[in-house]
Amino acid sequence: MTHTKLRKLKISYGDNHALKEINVDIPDKQITAIIGPSGCGKTTLLKSINRIIELSEGVKVRGEVLIDGANIYGKDADVLALRKKVGFLPQRPCPLPMSIYDNVAFGPRIHRLSEEQITKQLEKQKTNGLVKKEKSKKYQDYSKMDHLVEHYLKLAGLWDEVKDRLHSSASKLSIGQQQRLALARVLAIEPEVILADEPTSALDPLSAKLVEEQFKLLKKDYTIVIVTHILRQARRIADYVMFMYLGELIEHGPAEKFFNAPQKDKTKEYLSGEIS
Amino acid sequence: MKARKKADSIATFFFYSSAIFIGILALIILAVLVVKSLPILSNNNFFELLFSSSWRPSRGEFGFLPFIVGTIEVTLIAMAIAIPICLLSSIYLSEYATKRMRSIFMPVIDLLAGIPSVVFGLFGILVIVPFVSFLGKMFGSSTTGYSLLSGSIILAIMVFPIIISVATAVLRSVPHELRESSLALGATRWQTVKKVVVRSSIGGLIAAVVLGFSRAIGETMAVLMVIGNVAIIPKSLFDPAYTLTSLIANNYGEMMSIPMYDSALLLAALMLLLIVAFFNIISHIILSKLIKHNYTNEA
Ligand SMILES: Nc1ncnc2c1ncn2[C@@H]1O[C@H](COP(=O)(O)OP(=O)(O)OP(=O)(O)O)[C@@H](O)[C@H]1O
Ligand SMILES: [Mg+2]
């Protein structure tokens, strides 16, 4: 069963038709990689899934994106609730102009989560086993928000590096750390789907590796859609692959099948490096 | 190779000497003001000059308090009017207006910036002064309209363009991805403006306001035309007032037969300079504090 379906999705910027009739189901709790040459519409497609695309000037969206059966572009769709459900990680990590702590707490705060809601959210998180609870800690010394910040920084694999300077400015972190902070920030709103636009393109190989590893761990609980132009990265982490070319979705399928037995000529050309 | 090195050192020399020249110029201006105001400083009690409000040059009484108070009050009230309006319109122009809207508004603002001071003054006499007079009557004060409030309003209008254009540019320079990150987390547009955009450009916004301030405090012509020019300490917004700049502009070159008069006017100029410098230093301190506290992005 899948929650996220694109139906006859067409997007244009003025008279530039960036996406032409996309139909695809995005599998739950897997990593879907969107690949294709530069300018083929990967970012456009990704951003359409939580309506961030509408921030671009002159953009026009037709067709449907169904999440849990409801069209997110429907008349009475709630954009804010949608964006809480579908998180987005931009290509360049953008620390918000505040401390590391406040960056992670930003989402829960703007959504005005109550202490109980935070507790509930963390209870649910505990069962997933990704973050080990340290028994020795005296938890009553911390506020609920402290718990939350710690939890998601751990989940993003950043906790150990920043635990001693949570209240210093986020812009002082390295680019790789900033990207994992962005991840923690997204995770803290407890989305079901995480969209990531070339999340490792600004990072050095080591930081990129860390982020990749984090995604592999997270797919247990989250549906992840990642845009990448690095074929090797797609091979490493993707369970499902979508190949785009000039605004069209040429081929899509489970990673194994896609890489080992591509059906379309364009796909074969791309995989062999003839087009890029 | 040698020629290039030589060109380089010549260029360096010119940059260096230009910078030095500007520095020396500032010092010369300061020196002239100090030297010229020495006579009155040695002739009268310094505290009396600063804190007396009796201005009777023919009797040798030079109390500057009305002018100092007038200058500071008219500037502060003008800024109190200008800052909220300017910040709100900059936020509108940068965050909410469409490209088309901006392309109509920005040239209008630039046009406003190019209007000569005297024209603002005339506008003040024809529109603001009657309006303030009417307003005063509503509040039960019989005012001619030539008042502290009129001066402040005119001054506020004059600093609009500079604050708005700088503040808008500052807000526009916030990277698109930063807004996107905040909105993608489900923040509303207003939350994003408040918590992310304004916060990350707070340094630049303060700079815009300071720039407006420096212009406001030194502005003469338009204010002089509507403020009434009476050397008293205004008790209400509808009372006339007098500023240091108006004092100098109205009187320099006239009444020079009165002893100490020209020295008094140059002392007024010196005071003006010190007040401006004081505000500038304060704003620098605030700015560097803010940067230290990492509220700005570039820190
Ligand atoms: N804001 C915009 N305004 C106008 N045209 C745009 C805009 N963003 C993208 N486009 C156009 O839409 C098409 C698809 O762009 P998109 O950014 O989705 O490609 P991409 O596959 O993500 O490319 P890259 O790999 O370079 O990031 C391109 O032709 C691009 O020029
Ligand atoms: Mg892209």
Question: Tell me: the pLDDT tens digits for B247-289?
Answer: 999 988 887 778 888 899 999 999 999 888 888 888 788 777 7
Given this model, what pLDDT does residue A133 score? Answer: 56
A111 CA → ligand 1 middle, Å? 31
Q: Which of A159, A129, A134 is nearest to A221 (CA)?
A: A129
Q: Which of B281, B276, B279, B223 is nearest to B248 (CA)?
A: B223
- Is A12 part of the contact surface with chain B (CB cutoff 8 Å)? no
Given this model, what pLDDT does residue A145 score? Answer: 87
Tokens 């109550």 correspond to A114
What are the residue boundaries of the structural domains of chain B, listed by start?
2-43, 67-294
> For residue A140, what is the DSSP state?
G
Report phi then psi at A135, rounded to 5.
Answer: -65, -30
Ligand 1 atom nearest residue A40's Cα = 21
A18 CA → ligand 1 middle, Å? 7
Q: Binning pLDDT at 50, 70 and 90, where does residue B291 land?
A: low
**Contact across the interface for A171 and B196, Cβ inside 8 Å:** no
- Rounded to the nearest 10 degrees, what angle do helices B202-218 and B261-292 cross at? 180
Given this model, what pLDDT does residue B292 score? Answer: 61
Structure confidence by residue, pLDDT tens digits, B199-234: 999 888 988 888 888 878 888 889 999 999 999 999
CA B121 remoteness from chain centre: 16
**Minimal C-alpha gap between B245 and chain A (Å):** 41
Given this model, what pLDDT does residue B296 score? Answer: 42
Query: Cα(B252)–Cα(B225) distance, rounded to whole angstroms?
Result: 16
Ligand 1 lined by A238 (C-beta under 6 Å): no
The stretch B26-41 carries a mean pLDDT of 93
Tokens 């990689």 correspond to A33
**Minimal C-alpha gap between B208 and chain A (Å):** 19
Q: Minimum mean pLDDT among A96-100, B41-45, B201-205, B291-295: which range?
A: B291-295
For residue B128, give both structure tokens: 């603001």
- Is A83 part of the contact surface with chain B (CB cutoff 8 Å)? yes
The ipTM, to two decimals, is 0.87
- Going by their DSSP bridges, the two strands A193-197 and A223-227 should be labelled as parallel
Query: Cα(B208)–Cα(A111) distance, rounded to whole angstroms?
Result: 32
- Flag whether pLDDT at B293 surpasses 70: no
Ligand nearest to the CA of A196: 2
Given this model, what pLDDT does residue A260 score? Answer: 92
Given this model, what pLDDT does residue A112 score? Answer: 86
Structure confidence by residue, pLDDT tens digits, B73-93: 999 999 999 999 999 999 999
Q: Binning pLDDT at 50, 70 and 90, where does residue B154 land?
A: very high
The stretch B46-65 carries a mean pLDDT of 89
Q: Which of residues 174-193 of A touch B (CB under 8 A)?
A: 182, 185-186, 189
A99 three-class SS: strand
**Minimal C-alpha gap between B91 and chain A (Å):** 17
| Interface probe with B: pick from A106, A173, A183, most Cβ of B within 10 Å | A106
Ligand 1 lined by A276 (C-beta under 6 Å): no
Residues near A275 by beta carbon (within 8 Å), at least 6 away in sequence: A37, A245, A266, A269
Count of helices and strands (H, E) across chain A: 11, 10
Give me the residues of chain A with pLDDT under 70, please.
1-2, 126-142, 276
Query: Cα(B235)–Cα(B24) distance, rounded to whole angstroms?
Result: 42
Nearest by CB to residue A88, choosing from B178, B184, B196, is B184
Ligand nearest to the CA of A230: 1
What pTM did the predictor assign? 0.82
Domains of chain A by start residue, with CATH: 4-272 (3.40.50.300)
> For residue A169, what is the DSSP state?
B
Nearest by CB to residue B188, choosing from A50, A80, A97, is A80
B97 CA → ligand 2 middle, Å? 26
Question: A189 contacts in B (CB within 8 Å)?
Answer: 185-186
> For residue B92, what is the DSSP state?
I
Q: Binning pLDDT at 50, 70 and 90, where does residue B60 land?
A: confident
* DSSP-derived secondary structure for A15-63: TEEEEEEEEEEEPTTSEEEEE-STTSSHHHHHHHTTTGGGGSTTEEEEE
Q: Which CATH superfamily is domain B67-294 in?
A: MetI-like (1.10.3720.10)
Residues forming beta bridges with residue B13, ordered by sequence position: none
Q: Please say whether the beta carbons of B49 and B263 come within 8 A.
A: no
Task: Give the H/E segment covering residue B244.
Answer: helix B244-251
Ligand 1 atom nearest residue A244's Cα = 21
Given this model, what pLDDT does residue B294 score? Answer: 47
Tokens 């020795």 correspond to A136
Given this model, what pLDDT does residue A132 score? Answer: 59
**Contact across the interface for B185 and A107, Cβ inside 8 Å:** yes
The stretch B174-186 carries a mean pLDDT of 92
A224 vs B6 pLDDT, higher one: A224
Which residue puts its alpha carbon closest to atom 16 of ligand 1? A41
Q: Which of A83, A55, A223, A42 is nearest to B184 (CA)?
A: A83
**Contact across the interface for A90 and B181, Cβ inside 8 Å:** yes
